Amino acid sequence: MLAVDLLLTLAALATAGQCLLLPGLFRAVANLMAFGLVMALIWVRLDAPDVALAEAAIGAGITGALLLTAVGQLPASQRQLHHEHYRVPRRFIPMTIIVVFVGGVLWATMLALPKVGLVKEIAAVLPESGAEHAVTAILLNLRGIDTLLEIAVMLCAVAAIWSLQRAIPPPALELNYPGLTTLARWLHPLFLLTFSYFLWQGTHAPGGAFPAGAVLGAGGVLLLLTGSIGWMYRHYYNQLLRWLLAAGLLLFLATALAGLLMTGSLYGLPPQLAGYFIIAIEVAAALSIALMLMTFYLFGRPRS
Protein backbone atom coordinates (compact mmCIF):
# COMPACT_ATOMS: atom_id res chain seq x y z
CA MET A 1 0.00 0.00 0.00
CA LEU A 2 3.07 2.26 0.03
CA ALA A 3 2.55 2.91 -3.69
CA VAL A 4 -1.01 4.10 -3.01
CA ASP A 5 0.19 6.46 -0.29
CA LEU A 6 2.89 7.89 -2.55
CA LEU A 7 0.37 8.31 -5.37
CA LEU A 8 -2.04 10.18 -3.07
CA THR A 9 0.81 12.39 -1.82
CA LEU A 10 1.82 13.29 -5.39
CA ALA A 11 -1.82 13.90 -6.33
CA ALA A 12 -2.27 16.27 -3.37
CA LEU A 13 0.88 18.19 -4.28
CA ALA A 14 -0.07 18.32 -7.97
CA THR A 15 -3.62 19.59 -7.43
CA ALA A 16 -2.46 22.13 -4.84
CA GLY A 17 0.27 23.36 -7.17
CA GLN A 18 -2.09 23.66 -10.12
CA CYS A 19 -4.57 25.54 -7.95
CA LEU A 20 -1.90 28.16 -7.23
CA LEU A 21 -0.12 28.31 -10.59
CA LEU A 22 -2.57 27.72 -13.42
CA PRO A 23 -4.12 30.85 -14.98
CA GLY A 24 -7.86 31.38 -14.69
CA LEU A 25 -10.09 31.39 -11.62
CA PHE A 26 -12.22 28.50 -12.83
CA ARG A 27 -9.14 26.26 -13.11
CA ALA A 28 -8.10 27.27 -9.61
CA VAL A 29 -11.50 26.38 -8.15
CA ALA A 30 -11.66 23.09 -10.06
CA ASN A 31 -8.23 22.08 -8.79
CA LEU A 32 -9.17 23.10 -5.25
CA MET A 33 -12.20 20.79 -5.46
CA ALA A 34 -9.97 18.01 -6.78
CA PHE A 35 -7.57 18.66 -3.89
CA GLY A 36 -10.48 18.24 -1.45
CA LEU A 37 -11.34 14.87 -2.98
CA VAL A 38 -7.71 13.74 -2.76
CA MET A 39 -7.61 14.79 0.90
CA ALA A 40 -10.76 12.76 1.49
CA LEU A 41 -9.00 9.68 0.10
CA ILE A 42 -6.02 10.41 2.34
CA TRP A 43 -8.31 10.49 5.38
CA VAL A 44 -9.71 7.12 4.29
CA ARG A 45 -6.16 5.75 4.24
CA LEU A 46 -5.74 7.10 7.79
CA ASP A 47 -8.79 5.06 8.91
CA ALA A 48 -10.95 8.16 9.45
CA PRO A 49 -13.94 7.63 7.11
CA ASP A 50 -16.11 10.14 8.96
CA VAL A 51 -13.53 12.90 8.51
CA ALA A 52 -13.09 11.81 4.88
CA LEU A 53 -16.77 12.21 4.13
CA ALA A 54 -16.87 15.57 5.88
CA GLU A 55 -13.83 16.69 3.86
CA ALA A 56 -15.48 15.62 0.61
CA ALA A 57 -18.74 17.35 1.54
CA ILE A 58 -17.18 20.61 2.74
CA GLY A 59 -13.78 20.82 1.03
CA ALA A 60 -14.89 19.67 -2.41
CA GLY A 61 -18.64 20.21 -2.32
CA ILE A 62 -19.77 23.26 -0.37
CA THR A 63 -16.54 25.25 -0.74
CA GLY A 64 -16.46 24.51 -4.46
CA ALA A 65 -20.07 25.62 -4.88
CA LEU A 66 -19.38 28.86 -2.99
CA LEU A 67 -16.29 29.68 -5.03
CA LEU A 68 -17.86 28.78 -8.37
CA THR A 69 -20.84 31.01 -7.62
CA ALA A 70 -18.49 33.80 -6.50
CA VAL A 71 -16.57 33.46 -9.77
CA GLY A 72 -19.87 33.67 -11.64
CA GLN A 73 -20.60 37.03 -9.98
CA LEU A 74 -17.37 38.54 -11.36
CA PRO A 75 -17.15 40.36 -14.71
CA ALA A 76 -16.06 38.13 -17.59
CA SER A 77 -12.77 40.02 -17.91
CA GLN A 78 -11.76 38.98 -14.38
CA ARG A 79 -12.69 35.31 -14.66
CA GLN A 80 -9.95 34.32 -17.10
CA LEU A 81 -6.30 35.26 -17.29
CA HIS A 82 -4.87 34.61 -20.73
CA HIS A 83 -1.70 32.56 -20.98
CA GLU A 84 0.24 35.29 -22.77
CA HIS A 85 -0.34 37.64 -19.81
CA TYR A 86 0.46 35.05 -17.17
CA ARG A 87 3.89 34.56 -15.66
CA VAL A 88 4.97 32.39 -12.77
CA PRO A 89 6.20 34.72 -10.00
CA ARG A 90 9.97 34.87 -9.66
CA ARG A 91 9.67 34.22 -5.95
CA PHE A 92 8.00 30.84 -6.55
CA ILE A 93 11.16 28.70 -6.53
CA PRO A 94 12.80 30.20 -3.42
CA MET A 95 9.48 30.22 -1.57
CA THR A 96 8.94 26.57 -2.50
CA ILE A 97 12.38 25.68 -1.12
CA ILE A 98 11.65 27.53 2.11
CA VAL A 99 8.23 25.85 2.52
CA VAL A 100 9.69 22.38 1.89
CA PHE A 101 12.54 23.04 4.33
CA VAL A 102 10.26 24.35 7.10
CA GLY A 103 7.82 21.48 6.51
CA GLY A 104 10.65 18.96 6.76
CA VAL A 105 11.88 20.47 10.02
CA LEU A 106 8.39 20.41 11.52
CA TRP A 107 7.88 16.80 10.41
CA ALA A 108 11.20 15.70 11.92
CA THR A 109 10.38 17.57 15.14
CA MET A 110 6.98 15.92 15.34
CA LEU A 111 8.51 12.45 14.92
CA ALA A 112 11.03 13.19 17.67
CA LEU A 113 8.37 14.20 20.21
CA PRO A 114 7.53 11.65 22.92
CA LYS A 115 4.27 9.80 22.48
CA VAL A 116 1.94 11.05 25.18
CA GLY A 117 -1.75 10.55 25.67
CA LEU A 118 -4.62 10.17 28.08
CA VAL A 119 -5.88 6.81 26.86
CA LYS A 120 -5.96 5.20 30.31
CA GLU A 121 -7.53 8.24 31.96
CA ILE A 122 -10.27 8.50 29.32
CA ALA A 123 -10.97 4.76 29.49
CA ALA A 124 -11.42 5.05 33.25
CA VAL A 125 -14.13 7.73 33.01
CA LEU A 126 -15.74 6.53 29.77
CA PRO A 127 -18.55 4.57 31.51
CA GLU A 128 -19.61 7.76 33.31
CA SER A 129 -19.44 10.02 30.23
CA GLY A 130 -22.69 8.88 28.63
CA ALA A 131 -20.95 7.76 25.40
CA GLU A 132 -19.54 4.44 24.25
CA HIS A 133 -16.73 5.90 22.14
CA ALA A 134 -13.83 7.98 23.43
CA VAL A 135 -14.04 10.59 20.64
CA THR A 136 -17.72 11.30 21.33
CA ALA A 137 -17.08 11.39 25.08
CA ILE A 138 -14.29 13.94 24.62
CA LEU A 139 -16.13 16.17 22.17
CA LEU A 140 -19.48 16.30 23.94
CA ASN A 141 -18.64 15.78 27.61
CA LEU A 142 -15.05 15.71 28.83
CA ARG A 143 -13.96 18.66 26.65
CA GLY A 144 -17.39 19.87 25.62
CA ILE A 145 -16.37 23.52 25.99
CA ASP A 146 -14.15 23.15 22.88
CA THR A 147 -17.04 21.88 20.77
CA LEU A 148 -19.28 24.60 22.19
CA LEU A 149 -16.81 27.25 21.03
CA GLU A 150 -16.52 25.65 17.58
CA ILE A 151 -20.29 25.90 17.08
CA ALA A 152 -20.20 29.47 18.42
CA VAL A 153 -17.51 30.39 15.86
CA MET A 154 -19.65 28.98 13.02
CA LEU A 155 -22.66 30.95 14.27
CA CYS A 156 -20.53 34.11 14.37
CA ALA A 157 -19.51 33.41 10.76
CA VAL A 158 -23.19 33.23 9.80
CA ALA A 159 -23.81 36.57 11.54
CA ALA A 160 -20.84 38.11 9.71
CA ILE A 161 -22.11 36.92 6.32
CA TRP A 162 -25.63 38.14 7.10
CA SER A 163 -24.25 41.58 7.90
CA LEU A 164 -22.84 41.97 4.37
CA GLN A 165 -25.90 41.96 2.15
CA ARG A 166 -29.31 40.51 1.41
CA ALA A 167 -29.72 37.00 0.09
CA ILE A 168 -29.01 36.41 -3.60
CA PRO A 169 -31.66 34.25 -5.33
CA PRO A 170 -30.40 30.84 -6.48
CA PRO A 171 -29.14 30.64 -10.07
CA ALA A 172 -31.45 29.17 -12.70
CA LEU A 173 -29.31 26.11 -13.35
CA GLU A 174 -32.27 24.15 -14.68
CA LEU A 175 -32.00 26.06 -17.97
CA ASN A 176 -28.45 24.86 -18.64
CA TYR A 177 -28.56 21.52 -16.80
CA PRO A 178 -32.10 20.10 -17.18
CA GLY A 179 -31.40 16.92 -15.22
CA LEU A 180 -29.67 18.53 -12.25
CA THR A 181 -32.86 19.18 -10.28
CA THR A 182 -34.07 15.59 -10.70
CA LEU A 183 -30.63 14.26 -9.74
CA ALA A 184 -30.56 16.44 -6.61
CA ARG A 185 -33.96 15.19 -5.50
CA TRP A 186 -32.99 11.57 -6.09
CA LEU A 187 -29.73 11.96 -4.19
CA HIS A 188 -31.20 13.79 -1.20
CA PRO A 189 -32.63 10.62 0.45
CA LEU A 190 -29.06 9.26 0.34
CA PHE A 191 -27.82 12.40 2.13
CA LEU A 192 -30.54 11.95 4.76
CA LEU A 193 -29.66 8.27 5.21
CA THR A 194 -25.96 9.09 5.60
CA PHE A 195 -26.83 11.86 8.04
CA SER A 196 -28.85 9.45 10.20
CA TYR A 197 -26.13 6.80 10.01
CA PHE A 198 -23.42 9.18 11.24
CA LEU A 199 -25.60 10.30 14.14
CA TRP A 200 -26.16 6.69 15.13
CA GLN A 201 -22.51 5.75 14.58
CA GLY A 202 -21.34 8.56 16.84
CA THR A 203 -22.62 6.70 19.90
CA HIS A 204 -20.11 3.86 19.52
CA ALA A 205 -17.61 4.85 16.78
CA PRO A 206 -16.09 8.00 15.19
CA GLY A 207 -18.87 10.08 13.71
CA GLY A 208 -21.47 12.30 15.27
CA ALA A 209 -22.74 15.80 14.76
CA PHE A 210 -20.01 17.41 12.65
CA PRO A 211 -19.69 14.84 9.83
CA ALA A 212 -23.46 14.28 9.89
CA GLY A 213 -24.11 18.02 9.64
CA ALA A 214 -21.52 18.36 6.86
CA VAL A 215 -23.17 15.67 4.75
CA LEU A 216 -26.68 17.06 5.29
CA GLY A 217 -25.44 20.58 4.58
CA ALA A 218 -23.84 19.46 1.32
CA GLY A 219 -27.13 17.91 0.25
CA GLY A 220 -28.93 21.10 1.20
CA VAL A 221 -26.52 23.24 -0.85
CA LEU A 222 -27.17 20.98 -3.83
CA LEU A 223 -30.90 21.64 -3.43
CA LEU A 224 -30.25 25.37 -3.10
CA LEU A 225 -28.22 25.27 -6.31
CA THR A 226 -31.15 23.80 -8.17
CA GLY A 227 -33.73 26.09 -6.57
CA SER A 228 -35.49 23.15 -4.90
CA ILE A 229 -35.47 24.84 -1.47
CA GLY A 230 -37.22 28.19 -1.35
CA TRP A 231 -38.30 28.54 2.27
CA MET A 232 -34.91 29.84 3.44
CA TYR A 233 -35.35 32.88 1.18
CA ARG A 234 -38.86 33.76 2.46
CA HIS A 235 -39.23 36.41 5.12
CA TYR A 236 -41.92 34.66 7.17
CA TYR A 237 -39.46 31.83 7.94
CA ASN A 238 -36.83 34.24 9.30
CA GLN A 239 -37.53 33.60 12.98
CA LEU A 240 -37.72 29.82 12.50
CA LEU A 241 -34.39 29.84 10.61
CA ARG A 242 -32.72 31.87 13.36
CA TRP A 243 -33.91 29.52 16.11
CA LEU A 244 -32.81 26.45 14.16
CA LEU A 245 -29.38 27.97 13.54
CA ALA A 246 -28.93 28.68 17.23
CA ALA A 247 -30.48 25.40 18.46
CA GLY A 248 -27.19 23.52 18.77
CA LEU A 249 -25.44 26.30 20.66
CA LEU A 250 -28.42 26.98 22.93
CA LEU A 251 -28.83 23.32 23.86
CA PHE A 252 -25.10 23.05 24.49
CA LEU A 253 -25.27 26.03 26.85
CA ALA A 254 -28.36 24.60 28.56
CA THR A 255 -26.51 21.32 29.09
CA ALA A 256 -23.53 23.12 30.61
CA LEU A 257 -25.77 25.07 32.98
CA ALA A 258 -27.74 21.92 33.86
CA GLY A 259 -24.51 20.21 34.85
CA LEU A 260 -23.55 23.23 36.93
CA LEU A 261 -26.88 23.13 38.78
CA MET A 262 -26.97 19.35 39.33
CA THR A 263 -23.35 18.62 40.20
CA GLY A 264 -21.74 22.00 40.82
CA SER A 265 -19.40 21.83 37.80
CA LEU A 266 -19.81 22.91 34.17
CA TYR A 267 -20.87 19.93 32.04
CA GLY A 268 -20.81 17.80 35.18
CA LEU A 269 -23.76 15.67 34.13
CA PRO A 270 -24.93 12.73 36.24
CA PRO A 271 -23.91 9.43 34.56
CA GLN A 272 -27.51 8.21 34.37
CA LEU A 273 -28.56 11.30 32.36
CA ALA A 274 -25.39 12.05 30.36
CA GLY A 275 -26.31 9.71 27.50
CA TYR A 276 -29.66 11.41 26.89
CA PHE A 277 -28.08 14.86 26.94
CA ILE A 278 -25.43 13.76 24.42
CA ILE A 279 -28.05 12.37 22.02
CA ALA A 280 -30.04 15.62 22.21
CA ILE A 281 -26.89 17.69 21.63
CA GLU A 282 -25.84 15.51 18.69
CA VAL A 283 -29.17 15.95 16.90
CA ALA A 284 -29.48 19.70 17.58
CA ALA A 285 -25.84 20.44 16.73
CA ALA A 286 -25.97 18.39 13.51
CA LEU A 287 -29.10 20.19 12.28
CA SER A 288 -27.62 23.58 13.20
CA ILE A 289 -24.33 22.81 11.43
CA ALA A 290 -26.18 21.68 8.29
CA LEU A 291 -28.25 24.88 8.24
CA MET A 292 -25.15 27.00 8.88
CA LEU A 293 -23.40 25.48 5.87
CA MET A 294 -26.51 26.10 3.77
CA THR A 295 -26.79 29.64 5.12
CA PHE A 296 -23.21 30.37 4.01
CA TYR A 297 -24.48 29.80 0.49
CA LEU A 298 -27.35 32.28 0.90
CA PHE A 299 -24.86 35.20 0.62
CA GLY A 300 -26.73 37.23 3.21
CA ARG A 301 -29.72 37.12 5.48
CA PRO A 302 -33.14 36.26 3.98
CA ARG A 303 -35.35 39.14 2.92
CA SER A 304 -37.43 40.67 5.71
CA nearest 161: which of 10, 293, 256, 9? 293
Q: Are residues 175 and 34 in the same domain?
A: no
Q: Are residues 234 and 224 in the same domain?
A: yes
Q: Are residues 147 and 81 in the same domain?
A: no
CATH number at residue 38: 1.20.120.1200
Q: Are residues 80 and 142 in the same domain?
A: no
Q: Are residues 94 and 151 in the same domain?
A: no
Q: Which of 82, 116, 150 is a domain's end point? A: 116
Q: Are residues 289 and 224 in the same domain?
A: yes
Q: Which of 116, 132, 151 is a domain's end point? A: 116
Domain that holds residue 3: 1-116
Domain count, the chain: 2
Q: What is the pTM of this model?
A: 0.75
Q: Are residues 148 and 231 in the same domain?
A: yes
Per-residue pLDDT of the chain (304 residues; tens, 9 = 90+): 788 888 988 999 889 888 877 777 888 888 888 998 899 899 888 887 778 878 888 888 888 877 877 787 777 666 665 444 556 666 667 877 888 899 889 988 888 887 767 778 888 888 877 777 777 777 777 777 888 888 999 999 888 888 876 656 555 555 555 667 777 778 888 888 888 888 887 766 666 788 888 888 888 888 877 777 767 767 777 788 888 889 889 988 888 888 788 877 777 777 788 788 888 888 888 899 899 888 887 766 665 5
Q: Are residues 241 and 292 in the same domain?
A: yes
Q: Are residues 249 and 162 in the same domain?
A: yes
Q: Are residues 14 and 65 in the same domain?
A: yes
- Residues 147 and 132: their CA atoms lie apart, in Å, by 18
Q: Which of 59, 89, 116 is a domain's end point? A: 116
